[in-house]
Amino acid sequence: MNETLWEKAVDFHGHTCMGLVFGYRVVEAAWRVFGERDVDEQYVAIVENDNCSIDAIQVLLSCTLGKGNLIYKDYGKPAYTFIRRKDNKAIRVTLLDPPDENRDIIRALREKVDAGQASETEKELLKTKSEEQIAAYRSRPLEEICKVQEVDAEIPERARLFSSVICTSCGEKVMEPRARLQNGQIVCIPCSLAYTRGWGTA
């Protein structure tokens, strides 16, 4: 990992933040095990949150939603599983919570800023403390930032192409596996009427 890669992640994401730092370090953990960037969808990333960290994984590991080798699970957990198809090797990376003297200060300052109650001095202090925190987490030993475990993982199938059908309600295309049948007519998910009886989403 080097400054060029960090700048690449920042450029892709649009700004620096702690979420991006965590993604950057998670990528470092994956590279320590696998040793190379993804080639031809050999890697699969299964992420359990949708925060800023995912952008670092997309741009640095080349695991993307469009390629089908980035799989999102809405668990709200800072956890990431990486699988290499050629040998079924898999690791799970979870973030740790190391001591951080700036954390409480930043939280208090951000609350004041968000509430519109911060002075200009406090705004500048928030910026300074945030930059210090980002720099610290970029340079801390990786073992303080995340835990890496080898795991057994089921390898998802590669992305496939499907034919499209037309929704009889909105007239838009929908891929066949996502289409629904309602009153004998093909409809897309947004146009379908959910029938869950409280058990979950459609």
Report the CATH number that the domain containing residue 88 is assigned in CATH. 3.30.1330.130
Q: How much is the pLDDT for 198?
A: 62
Asked whether the whole model's pTM tops 0.85, one would answer no
Q: The domain containing residue 202 runs over which residues? A: 161-202
Q: How much is the pLDDT for 179?
A: 93
The enclosing domain of 177 has a CATH number of 3.30.60.20
Beta carbons of 199 and 177 less than 8 angstroms apart: no
Asked, for residue 42, whether it belongs to a domain, the answer is yes
**Does 171 share its domain with 146?**
no
> Which residue stretches of the chain are H helix?
3-13, 18-34, 53-61, 103-114, 120-139, 142-145
Q: How much is the pLDDT for 37?
A: 67
Question: 68-126: per-residue pLDDT in tens?
Answer: 899 999 999 999 999 998 889 999 999 998 888 889 999 999 999 999 999 999 999 99
Q: How much is the pLDDT for 99?
A: 87
How many domains would you assign to the chain?
Answer: 2
Mean of all residue pLDDT scores within the chain: 90
**Does 20 share its domain with 46?**
yes
Asked, for residue 126, whether it belongs to a domain, the answer is no
**Does 53 share its domain with 144?**
yes
**Residue 143, helix vs strand vs coil:** helix
**Does 81 share its domain with 180?**
no
Asked, for residue 107, whether it belongs to a domain, the answer is no
Q: How much is the pLDDT for 114?
A: 94
**Does 53 share its domain with 146?**
yes
Output the DSSP codes for 4-43: HHHHHHHHHHSS--HHHHHHHHHHHHHHHHH-S---TT-E
pLDDT in single tens digits along all 202 residues of the chain: 688 999 999 999 999 999 999 999 999 999 999 987 656 778 999 999 999 999 999 999 999 998 889 999 999 999 999 999 888 999 999 999 888 888 999 999 999 999 999 999 999 999 999 999 999 999 999 999 999 999 998 877 777 788 999 999 999 999 999 999 988 999 999 998 766 566 655 4
The three-point CA angle 57-63-69 to 5° equals 140
Q: How much is the pLDDT for 138?
A: 94
* 140: enclosing H helix or E strand: none
d(CA 89, CA 170): 44
Asked, for residue 184, whether it belongs to a domain, the answer is yes
